[in-house]
Chain A
Amino acid sequence: MRNRKTKFTLALAIVYLLATLGFVQRSRAQDSSGPAPMLKLYIDPATKVVYAEPGRGRRLLTEIPANAMAAGAIEQQEQRQEIQLRQNQDMISALVAKNQEFETSNRELTREMAEVKPAWRSYIDNFQDKFRIGTLIYGDYRFYTHTGFQPQELTQINNPGPWNNNYNSFDITRTYLNFYFFPTKDWTIRLTPNMYKTIGSSNDKIGANTGFGSNLDGNLGVRMKYANLQYSALWDKLDVPALKGGTVILGETANPLVGWEEDLYGYRYVNLTPWNYLSLSSTQLGVHFEGPIKPFSDGKTYADYGLGVYDNSSFHAYEQTDTKQAMARLSVYPFGADWRFQGLGLTGFYDYGYGNTTPDTASIPTALKGGNAHITRIATLLHYTAEQWGLAGEFDYGNNAFSAGNLFSGSGPADEFGTATGKPVTSGPAFFGNTCTPGAPCSNPASGFSSQTAAWNALLNNGQAREVGWDVFGHYHIPDTKFTAFGMFQWFLPNDKVATNPLDFQRFVVGASYQVNEFLRFAVDTQNTLFYHNQMSMSVPQLEKFNYVPGSKINGLTLPKTGSIPNLVPFDTHSIFLNMEFNY
């Protein structure tokens, strides 16, 4: 704007000066050409005013030769015109110089404006450096050729029990939104909301005559999977170079074993890792330390660790105890690893905690502590990982680490969850040592699962159970293809103190995955649970050695006092899964 105004002023000045110069030139030309010019004067007789030009009512008054005028006056006039000319030329020069100055100034101003970033731009640039968002989605389609009671194959999926063959379902089993915020170089905040499939129904009675129905079964709810604060400069501050890269995490975080083993296996979107499948939650609330150990200057990792103190409850349960559990994992890579898991590794994991029971309940004297007892989980792994394949063998040992609730997390008898099944006995002669009446119905071992559920709970939830397991898992990338074959085999004895435990089982998963691109994978696989003992019964005296109380009640039904409870080996399950993983 300013520039345009300047140019306009300059143009006006130049026009004016040219006009002036033209006039001067014309005057000078007239002076030097032809006969001497005459000056004519006119008068208006009415007004007696004299004019230099003719007009209406004017008469020629006189003619005077121009050269009759004084020569000095003409010279003076020429001098004035010369001075005026020089002044005008000086003015033009000054204006041209001024214009150049303005143009230079404008260029500098434009350059400066281009360099100055607006404040909002600076804020956005700064924010995007301190914030990251990602997402993770697991989905599947599953088809059961044989259904039965079993643990969950994946988080929060359930299936109907026996006699529901051909059951199938589409599922979404995980939808992380990973929010990472880096307020400073050393601190990170992670928030991860996760979708899960809810199960739950409760019908409310409102007032004297009103009821509201509610059924949350199958609703996709959202809960926080991870919410924590991470500090990554502890070992830098303490000047321990071998432990640099380690972090301290406060809040809700992955425990030392499950997340690590999921990465070692690589197919968490297909199935759970062994202890996670059995009972150990992937996420805990507490204080957690983890990181690599690089004792030498070659930059290789020779060990990595994870340890911490956490609530006894999982991340999706209310903490009831006055104690806490401790976990530690150490993985050693004797030949050094250039990247995580590379080469031969040996891993040990130890977990010691307690059942999630309030102190007043836990302090009640009982013959067997049941769910109040301590919990131990131990895992030792030998693993070898290359870029194209991986193989791991695992030995598991535990105490009270696999309850009936864990066994039936995917599907269980309704008796386990408060509803009696089968046809109770309400009359007749003594039935398994009990007198049965309509007011005191008896559990019928030959109908439904009430007696069996009581027996299963006795074998698992007695406070003295000892678990033993063996696992093998691995994968192999088929060269020059996008396919990788993978598999897992798990053999588990839920309580090896039982001579022949009807709940002993084997589980195997075999499949192939297809890597579509950097973010998307699909897999087709079969997942199976085999309760491999022949069908069997256990006598009441046998069960009494564990936590079975003859004549006690389950869901209002009196349990057998004598005889044997049959059909204690659950049904095998067989299924085919199509799995999907999207990770960004």
Chain B
Amino acid sequence: MMVKRRRGWMRLGLAAALIAVSGCTGMQSYLGGGASPRQLASADNPPPMVQNCGIVGIGSPTKYACDGKVYTSFDLLKLRQNWEKNHGG
């Protein structure tokens, strides 16, 4: 009786483990094979826009801080134009 019960628990545990593994696998595939949502989003997100950046230095060229990085006005222009080109803008 005890053995049967133990086997039952073992079967239940095995089934739960299988479900957990398959669930994780499914989640993995849902996440795109390991890429984070942030990575997925960044491919389609617009680049930093000058109006959202802080001024670091006014000059030729002016420098801006965007998302922790420093860009020149020319860098931002190029990023924006490339993005608009790729998105039919």
- Taking Cβ atoms with an 8 Å cutoff, the residues of A that contact B are 132-136, 176, 178, 180, 262-263, 266, 268, 338-342, 385-388, 390, 477, 481-482, 484, 515, 517-519, 583-584
Given A263-B56, A338-B68, A340-B56: A134 in contact with B61 (beta carbons within 8 A): yes
Closest to B81 in A: A518
With both chains docked as a complex, state the minimum distance between the C-beta of A137 and any C-beta of chain B, in angstroms: 11
Q: Which residues of B contact A519 (CB under 8 A)?
A: 62, 73, 77
**6 A-B pairs with least C-beta separation:** A134-B60, A387-B54, A518-B73, A515-B51, A178-B60, A266-B55
Question: Can you give 27 A-B contacts (C-beta < 8 A)?
Answer: A134-B60, A136-B58, A176-B60, A178-B59, A263-B56, A263-B58, A268-B58, A339-B54, A339-B65, A340-B56, A341-B54, A387-B52, A387-B53, A387-B54, A387-B67, A477-B52, A515-B50, A517-B77, A518-B50, A518-B73, A518-B76, A519-B73, A583-B60, A583-B61, A583-B62, A583-B73, A584-B73
Chain A: which residue is nearest B55 at the CB level?
A266
Residues of B within 8 A of A (CB): 50-63, 65-70, 73-74, 76-77, 80
Whether the pair B60, A132 counts as a contact (CB closer than 8 A) is yes
Tell me the smallest distance from the CB of A265 to a CB of chain B, in Å.
Answer: 9
Can you name the residue of chain A whose Cβ is closest to the Cβ of B73? Answer: A518
Known: A339-B56, A583-B73. 19 other contacts (CB 8 A): A132-B60, A133-B60, A134-B60, A136-B60, A178-B59, A263-B57, A263-B58, A266-B58, A338-B68, A339-B65, A341-B56, A387-B65, A388-B54, A481-B51, A518-B74, A518-B76, A518-B80, A519-B77, A584-B73
**A342, B54: Cα distance in complex, Å:** 9
Q: How long is the Cα–Cα vector from A135 to B59 in the complex, in angstroms?
A: 9
How far apart are A38's CB and chain B's nearest CB, in angstroms? 90
Cβ contact within 8 Å between B54 and A390: yes
| Total A-B residue contacts, Cβ distance less than 8 Å | 75
Are A342 and B61 CB-contacts (below 8 A) given A387-B53, A515-B51, A518-B50?
A: no
Tell me, rounded to whole Å, the shortest Cβ–Cβ distance linking B57 to chain A: 5
Return chain A residues, CB-CB under 8 Å to B54. 339, 341, 385-388, 390
Residues of B within 8 A of A136 (CB): 58-60
Minimum distance in angstroms from B61 CB to a CB of chain A: 7
B-chain residues with CB within 8 Å of residue A388 when the two chains form the complex: 52, 54
Residue of A nearest to B70 (CB): A339
Given A518-B73, A518-B74, A518-B77, are A340 and B51 also a contact pair (CB < 8 Å)? Answer: no
A residues near B68, Cβ cutoff 8 Å: 338-339
For A341, the closest partner residue in chain B by CB is: B56
With both chains docked as a complex, state the minimum distance between the C-beta of B7 and any C-beta of chain A, in angstroms: 58
Chain B: minimal CB distance from A252 (Å): 16
Contacts of B52 in A (CB 8 A): 387-388, 477
A518 to B85, CA, bound (A): 17
A177 to chain B minimum Cβ distance, whole angstroms, is 9
Q: A339-B70, A518-B77 are in contact. Are A584 and B56 (CB under 8 A)?
A: no
Nearest A residue to B71 via CB reads A518
Contact among B50, B60, B66 with A517 in the assembled complex (CB-CB below 8 Å): B50
Q: State the CA gap A407–B67 with chains docked (Å).
A: 42
Which residues of chain A are near B57, meaning CB under 8 Å?
263, 340
The distance in angstroms between the C-alpha atoms of A294 and B65, with both chains bound, is 19
Q: Determine the distance from Cα of A266 to Cα of B50 in the docked complex, in whole angstroms.
A: 14
Given known pairs A517-B77, A518-B73, the reply for A477 and B51 (CB within 8 Å) is yes
Contacts of A385 in B (CB 8 A): 54
Q: Which residues of B contact A481 (CB under 8 A)?
A: 51
List chain B residues, Cβ under 8 A from A515.
Answer: 50-51
| Contact A263:B55 (CB < 8 A) given known A136-B60, A387-B66, A584-B61 | yes
| A515 closest partner in B (C-beta) | B51
Tell me the smallest distance from the CB of B58 to a CB of chain A, in Å: 6
